[in-house]
Structure 1
Amino acid sequence: MYDVFSLPPIHFPDHFVWGSATAGHQIEGDNIHSQAWYKEQLPEFYQEDPNRAVRAPSGKACDHYRLYRQDVELIAALGHRAYRMSIEWSRIEPEEGRWDHEALAHYRDLLERLVDRDIQVFVTLHHFTHPLWFDRLGGFAKADNRRFFERYLAFLLPRISAYVSGWNVINEFNQWGGLTAGPEVAALKFNMLRVHALGYRLIKTHSTAPVSSAHAFIHWFPRRFHDDLDRRMTGLADFVTNEFFFHALRTGELVHPGVDAEYAPEVKGALDCWCVNYYTRHMVDARQAGLDGRRFRHKELKMIPMRFYLEEMYPEGLIANLERLRDYPVYITENGCACDDDRFRIVYLALHLSALHEAMERGVDARGYFYWSLMDNYEWTSFVPRFGLVAVDFQTFERTPKPSALFYRQVIRDNGFDGETIRAFLDALPTLERHGR
């Protein structure tokens, strides 16, 4: 059990970047030209999960595309100094070769409003979604299709770069294909490394802001810590999802189980910083089928009424992960939890910021932190997981800041916190009744 009230005073460096993060498809709504929207309309979409009651199409999501002006004011009122967002390729180029200048104007207005409020903007150029036409041509699985992404960036970058303080080319491609160790997955990851490098080089012709791709930094942990088989399988899981990415960007050598290594000189050094998305640890059990990472689960600990991956907070994993990234500055581009009781979110925030601070004391050059997510959103198949600092009524789209949003605002104002800050916010909150399960 963590004693958050005993945490010592924690202060972050001057100019530390504090903000929150979102993704276009998860908040904008009506992203009708994307491959994600298309798949949400298929009958199979509802058959992939036995708990069908929680599955839903994105629909209007948070209606952010319409309400973006209001949301900019909300971000400013919450004291955020930075905002990570994605621009939807499917809106800018809804049909192959046709540019939607109204959509471009929309994003430019959003970016300009953020900058006018002294909010630094970190832009993700591909956050899991792309145009349906591109998907039907084979998407990123076909190496030749890189030319379409290159053409898109050549159109977009000179029109928005003046507003952008940081870039992610792609979000979390390191976990595409899961833990499969085979030729097809390796080819996809090798292609994505080259896509990342392509994006990096193009951005650098238009912008001096730091560039990376957001990495889903999974902390793999052996189910039986001293069991040799569990430890070996943990090492394999870590390499397939984490180390192949770091190794490629550091050396230009593309290595993955099941295929011969390749050398891509353009990949070496194609980053200015590491961007890390961290949530919790995954357990590895060598005696379970496949290479699946078994997340820690406790049958009595359920923060939301569905099977989901945040039934444990493990801030120590953030320290262990970041200690591997001492060669470049680091931004935490996602960190957060889905819960019904906002007390849990406040504790989660405090413990992970404490862990981040400890990693910095150990020599990690962390420059910023983005909480996931600014608001409750569409979590790719469902509206049930609530990650937001701001509650959203998905019928009226009314936004209501949660106490955790006010706690985070205080952290930003003070550039840190202590145990008494946490106590003040937790003592003011009632404990929610647990779900009947």
Structure 2
Amino acid sequence: MSNELYKAVFPSDFLFGACISDYQHFGKTVCDLPPNNGSMHIERYKEDFELAKSLNLNSIRTSVEWSRIEPRMGEVDKGVLDFYKEYFSTLKTKGLKSFVTLHHFSNPKWIHELGGWLSQDVSKRFLTYVEFVARELCEFIDFALLFNEPGVYAFLAYYKGEKGLPPYEKNFSKLVKALENIKSTLIQASDVLRSYGFKGKIGFPSFVPNTHPVSSFSLRARVYARQAWSNLFYDVLDETSPSVDFIGVDYYTKNFVDSTGRIVFSTIEPEALTRVLATIYLRYKKPVAVLENGLATRNDALKTRYLVDHLYSVYKAIEAGVPVLCYLWWSFLHGYEWEGYGYQPFFALVDVGEDYTRKPTQTAQQFSEIAKNAHNQRGFVAQGARNELSQKNKGLEVARPRASSDYLRALSPSL
């Protein structure tokens, strides 16, 4: 790998930001998951937005939570609507662009009485919710993210079982049916937003499985790796991409699978992100947005290196002609992680104490300097992707990828 230093200058409208989600960070949850106080962002959002601005971020990815707006079917909580209007007004006042996820793995409890995402009735109720958001909140939303990682959600809810999400199913046919229903719903949701004159951009995050066979000589490993790309990523985007304005990606690691579909190891390979962004743009001819990228570790030196090298990979994609809209780090605040990981993985730029005090990390300070200078001629200095980041992960708190062995085997049940 090269040790040469490079200067990267980003387009003037490029967005640097970080992510939070309702269940993982807001607190006072009312959805179909166990109660969780997260980072108590719901009470400290003004402080958090001020902190984001002080760190030179110009965007935040956050959530609107369906279960807060419609805690009982057909009943809208007006108090919650008032909260969201104040919340997003504050975000806008701080000069932060908003990426707003309308569904981030959590649902109102009552949808399961209707059959969950296997049911067309739930699809219709979700579209009614989207209509409400479009009517009441669209003036505050710059980028509407319809549904977080549809393929991953369908897997966690309908194939992962007790370690997944409600209704904790383990049925491949139900996984497929739910995902088909979600894809159809996303296309309709885009139309709903536009019918209300939504002026922002519409898309959604898709998890990049980035799976590869551990050996090119293993046919079964090659099939598992290819099927993960197809079923988890491309099949969703091939069907829904005509209805969106940009393609959103969540990228973490490169993952190697064996002949049983088991992920045997993952590597941190920043340069692969350049190829992913270019491939997506060439396939769909739409702008691309990096909506999640991050590393779970309290080692700030390693985390900062991961940040800088992935940002440089984004820059290389832009230099090659790929219109990349943003780079959002997962996550802004320390919070809950899925699949039973809880609060152990530390992705955050900002640590959260037991009393919910905020403490920016050294990585946050480095990101702040990058965001401050990346649009001007000073740019930021990056080094060619280092060998240390291309080695196998050993002892890191990597809670992702979510392309688990169970999922890969589910994609190819005949093997």
Fold conserved between structures, TM > 0.5: yes
Alpha-carbon separation, structure 1, partners of 2:135 and 2:60: 20
Q: 2:347 aligns with which of 387, 390, 402?
A: 387
Q: Which amino acid aligns with 2:247?
A: W
Q: Does residue 185 of structure 1 match 2:171?
A: no
**1:277 aligned residue (232, 239, 250):** 250
Number of residue pairs the alignment of both structures matches: 364
Identity of aligned residues (%): 26
Structure 2 residue 317 is matched with structure 1 residue 359: yes
Aligned to 2:223: 232
Give the conservation status (yes or no) of the 8 Å contact 2:114–2:121. Answer: no
C-alpha offsets along residues 215-236 of structure 1, whole Å, 9 cap, x if unaligned?
Answer: 1111111111354432233212
CA distance in 2, matches of 1:376, 1:75: 14
Q: CA deviation at 1:205?
A: 2.0
Match of residue 300 from structure 1: none
Equivalent-residue separation in structure 1 for 2:52 and 2:58 (angstroms):
8
What is the letter of the counterpart of residue 407 of structure 1? Q
Question: Structure 1 residues 61, 111: CA separation in 2 closer, same or farther (over 3 Å shift)?
Answer: same
**Matched position secondary structure for 2:239:** helix
**Taking structure 1 as reference, are residues 139 and 234 closer, same or farther at Cα in structure 2, changes over 3 Å only?**
same
Q: Output the amino acid matched with 2:19.
A: A
Provide the residue aligned with 1:413 in structure 2.
372
Matched, 1:112 2:89: yes
Q: Find the partner of 1:215 among 186, 203, 206.
A: 206
**Residues 22-61 of structure 1: matches in 2 within 5 Å?**
22-31=20-29, 33-37=30-34, 59-61=36-38
Structure 1, unpaired ranges of 5+: 38-57, 251-268, 298-311, 423-433
SS of the residue corresponding to residue 37 of structure 2 reads coil
| TM superposition outliers: structure 1 runs of 4+ over 3 Å | 176-183, 225-229
Distance 1:404 1:274, change over 3 A: same
How far off its partner does 1:89 sit? Answer: 0.9
Call closer, same or farther: CA 1:225–1:414 in 2, change over 3 Å.
Answer: farther
Partners in 1 of 2:382 and 2:269 — Cα distance?
19
Between the aligned partners of 2:223 and 2:39, the Cα distance in structure 1 is: 43
1:361, distance to aligned residue in structure 2 (A): 2.5
Moved more, 75-84 or 134-143: 134-143
Question: Alignment RMSD, CA only?
Answer: 2.3
User: What secondary structure sits across from 1:377 in the alignment?
Assistant: coil
Contact kept? 1:34, 1:132, Cα under 8 Å: yes
Q: Deviations over 1:309-339 (max 9, x none)?
A: xxx4221331222122221001101111110
The answer to whether the aligner puts 1:121 opposite 2:98 as a matched pair is: yes
* Mapped contact 1:178–1:241 kept (Cα < 8 A): no
Deviation track 1:211-256 (CA, whole Å, cap 9, x = no partner) reads 0111111111111135443223321221111121122135xxxxxx
Shift of 1:137: 2.1
Determine helix, strand or coil for the equivalent of 2:243: coil
Select which of 223, 239, 251 maps to 1:248.
239
Letter in 1 for 2:273: L
CA contact (8 A) 1:200 1:270 kept: yes
> How far 1:295 moved relative to its partner?
5.0
Aligned pairs for 1:292-371 (under 5 A) are 292=262, 294=263, 296=265, 312-326=267-281, 327-371=285-329
- Aligned-partner residue type, residue 84 of structure 1: R
Provide the C-alpha distance between the structure 2 equivalents of 1:102 and 1:363, rounded to a whole number of angstroms. Answer: 46
2:349 touches 2:361 (CA, 8 Å); kept in 1?
yes
List aligned pairs for 1:7-156, cutoff 5 A: 7-31=5-29, 33-37=30-34, 59-156=36-133
Residues 343 and 361 of structure 1: CA distance in aligned 2, closer, same or farther (over 3 Å) = same
**Is the CA contact (8 Å cut-off) linking 1:169 and 1:196 kept in structure 2?**
yes
TM-score between the two structures when normalised by the length of structure 1 = 0.79
Is the 2:39–2:352 contact (alpha carbons within 8 Å) kept by the matching residues of 1?
Answer: yes
Structure 2: 5+ residue stretches without partners: 160-170, 386-395, 398-415
Q: Does 1:396 align with 2:373?
A: no
Q: Deviations over 1:3-47 (max 9, x none)?
A: 7x643111111111111111111011120x21112xxxxxxxxxx
Contact 1:281 1:295 in 2 (8 A): no
Shift of 1:419: 4.2
Q: Kindly tell me: are residues 113 and 177 of structure 1, through their superposed partners in 2, closer, same or farther at Cα, counting changes over 3 Å? A: closer
Could you give the per-residue CA deviations for residues 127-149 of structure 1, whole angstroms, max 9, x where no partner exists? 00011111332221212321111
TM-score normalized by the length of structure 2: 0.83
Could you say what secondary structure the match of 1:171 adopts? coil
Flag the 1:167–1:221 CA change in 2: closer, same or farther, 3 A. Answer: same
Does the 8 Å contact 2:101/2:147 carry over to 1?
A: yes
C-alpha distance 231-7 of structure 1, shift in aligned 2 (>3 A): farther
Post-superposition CA distance 1:157-184 (Å, at most 9, x none):
2111111110110000122344979533
Distance 1:295 1:337 in 2: 19
CA contact (8 A) 2:312 2:382 kept: no
